[in-house]
Structure 1
């Protein structure tokens, strides 16, 4: 009743096993918060991408400023290396500290589109988006 399995069956079983192990490890690394952001003392990446939070971003921002008052940066759980800065002065300091901070969000040093534009193209695009950064 116990026959020797063929190679495709063994490969399929190994693939399923490895997939289950990787998925279980990933789930342990990135736990989903059990409550919404108003009931926690930390900021989670899921808060930043939640459509409900994004629709009511003014309330979310007010909560963050109240909850993390006096803090310059707050680490975002679930997104390694991601932090939120709360004041204009802190943001300006980061923007001017090129040796410590980068505008490139990719850890593998891929370039962001604006970084690859010519100076003339960058200036033209900047005219259109500049007002959004000054709000």
Structure 2
């Protein structure tokens, strides 16, 4: 485990350990690594998205821990890692898609949506007052 390895260097995304590690980023990556696999396939007539689903607890209500999300009529997203973080990212992607359509009268291009969403995720690695997304 990574518990205790930060020795005070794991309190912020802006703090490097003496050996050059940023523990907050490593913790976020560990959350993704411990999650199920996500897979997306592009076919000639569409796309196929699948996620590996774990039942973490018998107390968890079935179908409440979704990891595939609609973003708009033309876009969707699958996530690995922390579902709560994924929901934040999906909400931002939905906002980006909606605002683009309102401003330009057309659906957002996939690469533009990806760039805008990635920029949002990246912001959470730049400041000590927030933690990086583990999704």
| TM-score normalized by the length of structure 1 | 0.25
Which one scores higher on RCO, CA 8 angstroms, separation ≥ 6? 2
Higher-helix-fraction structure: 1
Larger radius of gyration: 1
More strand per residue: 1 or 2? 2
Could you state the TM-score of these two structures normalised by the residue count of structure 2?
Answer: 0.25
